[in-house]
Structures are given as C-alpha cells and as structure tokens.
Amino acid sequence: MRSFAAAALFGAVSATKMDSNDYKFMRYIVEHNKEYNTLEEYNMRKSNYEWMDKEIVRWNSSNGSSVHGHNWTSDLSRAEYEGMLGLKNQPKPKRANGEVFTGEGVAIPASNNWCSSGQYCNPVKNQGSCGSCWAFATTASMESAHAIFYSTLYSLSEQQLVSCSGSFGNGGCQGGWYYWAWDYAVTTPITTEAVYPYTSGSHGVTGRCTYTAGSGVMYDLSQTDVAANTTAILAAITNQPVAVAIEADTSYFQSYTSGVLNDGTACGTNIDHAVTAVGFGTDSVGGPYYIVRNSWGTSWGNQGYVWIGQGCGSLGCCGINQYVAFPTVKA
C-alpha cells in the first residue's frame, strides 16, 4: 500500500528532528519503491534494514575484494530472504548415465562472457518471493544452449517448471533442482514465457499447472555433470553457460554489489541457491572469478550478476564447484 510509505515519509520530513538512520531508510524506501501496510510492518522493515546496514559496514571494512551495499532485499526478514533460496535441503540426484565432463581437449581463453552481447542470454529475470531459483537456472542454461547451437534465443517459461514438474521431485516455490527440471523437459517441451508467463513471484504460490500440450518449443536431450575442479568448469563454460549451486544465505552474498566474492569463510559451502555461470575473467584485486547470473533482477548485485572467485579450496567459493552441470537441448 503506497499510501503508508508516503505518509511515513511526509511525517518523518515534517518531524522536528530526524536522525541519520531515519533519513537513510526513507531514501531506501523511495529508491526501491517500497510499500508497507502498517506501522508494525514499517518498524519491522526498518529493523531489518538497519541490521543489513551494519553488515554492509562490516564487509566494506574487512579489506576484502568485494563491495557491498543495499538492494531491494535489505528490508526482508531472514525467513523471507531464505525463502528465495530454493535448493534448501535438496539432495543431489544421482544421474543414470554417470557421465562427467572433464574439459579434456577444450582450449580455455583468458576470459569469456556469453551474456555480454545479448545474443546468447536474455535480460536478467526476477524470481520474486518464490523459491524458484532452480527453475531460472534451468531456463537460463537451456536458453543459452539453444542460442549457441541453434542460433535462436527463446525466453522460456519458468512458471511451467514451477507449476508442472512436481512429479519429478520439484516443490514449486518450496524448492527444487535443475536436474529434475531438465528431466521433466526430456519428455515435455518447455514453452515460452510469452505463452506461459511467470506469476509466482508476486505471491510466492506455486499455482496449478495450466500448460497447453503442443505449445512447447524446446526439449532437453540430456544433462552432463562437470568435474568439481576449476579446469573442467572453465572448459564447460567455454562451451556454454552451466547451472551451478551455491550458498547464498549470508549477508556477504546478499549485500554484494561489485568486485569478487572470494572469502570462503564468509560465503560458506552449504548450497541452497541455484544460479548460472555464464563466463569468467580475472580482476586485478580479487583474482580469477566466475561470472554468475542470478535471478533477483538487475537491481541486485552488479546489474543482476555476481563475480565469484575461482579459489576457496576444493568445494569452491560459495560452494560453486560442487553441483556444476549443463543441458543438451533440441528444438
């Protein structure tokens, strides 16, 4: 309800004295077009924002290689934020063929970014309040694969996966796996977002399946796991974007705005969020990194992207080495 936010802003400005925290939060409300229904919600959101503000100061004072700041998630409760992390408590499925890509024979360039030209990636999408990150990692990897190998970039329907792939193990807004979503796409083609638009983000509800047979445009032929080492992952990304799983429940990740996340302790390795690695490069301060596409819109991170370091031990920074895979698609 916009009226309360406007009234709160007017009241604060009209007050005889407003401290710096009030002023900063008011600017946040305006910048991110926030709407609160009650005074109680306003106070709760302000408390969440102030906690994040302290975390941002802490990370920016740590002499790390990343920069942190506020974004549209700063006023969320921990439960709300963690609700967007749709891989929580989801074990990795065992693949029947057991094929693992090692990168042997692939010439790896110094840098690569499949999304820089707009030819192979759609604009960053926003999953909203639904724990459907797994569906967005699924579609992003399939969209790019089709654009690379068939020269047509579709925008696929995440809503179809959220609402219709439950029998394959996925839980809609309560979480899932890109592995299971790809399994669904082996037998049922994914339709376009224009035909089956995304609606779960606004209310966090999975919704019933309304997919129309015959409307699909893309199947998945198979999926291939990538060996959990930097060489194999870089080789895989050289060929096409890959789906990856990371730990994202930390304020270190939530408040990222630029630079490289390469503090293994701060980021953690207990995976809970699905994203897509679309490239790689080297930063003069943070060192080698993966370019990772998130599904929280362009007002999060660096225009919707995050650079995650290539180090941090065998599990990778934020656990990124553990569950790397890519689809093989067909029209």
**Known catalytic residues?**
133, 273, 294
Phi, psi (rounded to 5 degrees) for 258 = -165, 175
**Chain centre distance of CA 57:** 24
**193 Cβ contact list (under 8 Å, min separation 6):** 155, 156, 157, 158, 159
Q: What is the helix (H) or strand (E) element at residue 258, kind and residue range?
A: strand 256-261
* Cα distances (Å, whole numbers) of residue 236 to 103, 117, 304, 308: 6, 19, 22, 16
Question: Is residue 143 within 8 Å of residue 156, measured between CB atoms?
Answer: yes
Count CB atoms within 10 A of the CB of residue 262: 24
> CA-to-CA distance for 43 and 77, rounded, in angstroms?
12
| Mutual angle of helices 178-187 and 133-150, in 10-degree steps | 50
**Helix (H), strand (E), coil (C) string for 119-142:** CCCCCCCECCCCCCHHHHHHHHHH
